[in-house]
Structure 1
Amino acid sequence: MANHLELLTELQQLDKVPSLERLRAAQKRRTQQLKRWAVYEKEMQNKKRKADKRRGHGNLRENCRRVSFAASIALLEASARNDPDEVRYLLKNNLSPDLCNEDGLTALHQSCIDNYEDMVRILLNHGATVNAQDNELWTPLHAAATCGHTGLVKILIQQ
């Protein structure tokens, strides 16, 4: 790897050459960086594998842990993905449709922002509060209107 002084010297020399040559030199330097990084990554992976084998963690499937998320995160994520089956499943299992994130956004807010009409209907049919307010006191109606989703505005007003 080139040290700092070598790079400064190279930079001064590159100031005197045409742009195309500077570009080629930069590409060459970047290629060298990527090669060094690939070698480093491979070494680190090999070290980790060896360490895992020494500790008896050769089979990763046996040592996998399940990751679980808070119910509000699961509902918000499923509604943001516009996954009606998962949202129905979560709501059917007594999950409140009014769960919110740290900003106070509910799944209904997010669905109104993303213009997911079917998701809005599902959430409202499962008792989502149409006038739920986020931390800035915005309701799903504010979100739908600001984003110009007139179909959702009508649905929300009817509710």
Structure 2
Amino acid sequence: MEIDQCLLESLPLGQRQRLVKRMRCDQIKAYYEREKALQKQDGYVKKLKHGKKHRVHFNLADMIQDAIICHDDKEVLWLLKDGADPHTHISSGGSLLHLCARYDNVFAAEILIERGVNVNHQDEDFWTSMHVACACDNPDIVLLLLL
């Protein structure tokens, strides 16, 4: 549906909005039809079996990082008990203790220190957990790292 810009601008606001909304719906419908035809052409459409559950599995390192960020202390304990490595490095080269310092998770930091995590480990910017805790204004972590 092509409409001249001058004609569109001359319409009252309510009519213009309804017309533009209908044009957008037509565009979206045409897009989905093209995608569907393209997938059929490539033989890409696969039917899923009914009742089959799909699950995504994450490794323990990713799960413990998420648990630290979300302050899920029970999950942190469970993952460490289940075999997660407390010495895991994060993407910035830091340790899990760096995450605890950034997100002010004192409980997880205390557990990691008890498990022997190096409090002097530096990330790729040569920052220790103490630097991160100070920069993020987390005095409880600073106190824990000093003791």
Structure 1 length-normalised TM: 0.67
Is 1:143 matched with 2:126?
Answer: no
The SS at the match of 1:79 is helix
Q: CA deviation at 1:133?
A: 1.4
CA contact (8 A) 1:52 1:58 kept: no
Q: CA deviation at 1:145?
A: 0.2
Is 1:87 matched with 2:65?
Answer: no
Using the aligned pairs only, state the percent identity: 24
Structure 1 pair 102–12 and aligned structure 2 pair: CA distance change class (3 A): farther
CA contact (8 A) 2:119 2:129 kept: yes
**Which residue of 10, 14, 19 corresponds with 2:5?**
10
**Structure 1: 5+ residue runs without aligned partners?**
none
CA contact (8 A) 2:106 2:141 kept: yes
The SS at the match of 2:144 is helix
Structure 1 pair 150–38 and aligned structure 2 pair: CA distance change class (3 A): farther
Is 1:155 matched with 2:144?
Answer: yes
Q: After superposition, give the CA deviation of every residue in 1:66-91 in whole Å (9 maximum; x if it has no partner).
A: 43333321221121121111211221
Q: CA RMSD in A?
A: 3.4
CA contact (8 A) 2:65 2:99 kept: yes
CA contact (8 A) 1:98 1:132 kept: no
Give the aligned partner of residue 58 of structure 1. 49
Q: d(CA) in 1 for partners of 2:31 and 2:88? A: 44
**Which residue of 28, 34, 43 corresponds with 1:37?**
28
Matching residue's letter, 1:123: L
Q: d(CA) in 2 for partners of 1:144 and 1:130? A: 12
Give the aligned partner of residue 122 of structure 1. 111
Name the structure with the higher helix share: 1
Structure 1 pair 37–96 and aligned structure 2 pair: CA distance change class (3 A): same
Give the aligned partner of residue 99 of structure 1. 88
CA contact (8 A) 1:130 1:140 kept: yes
Tell me how many residue pairs correspond in the alignment: 140
Q: Structure with the greater relative contact order (CA < 8 A, sep ≥ 6): 1 or 2?
A: 2
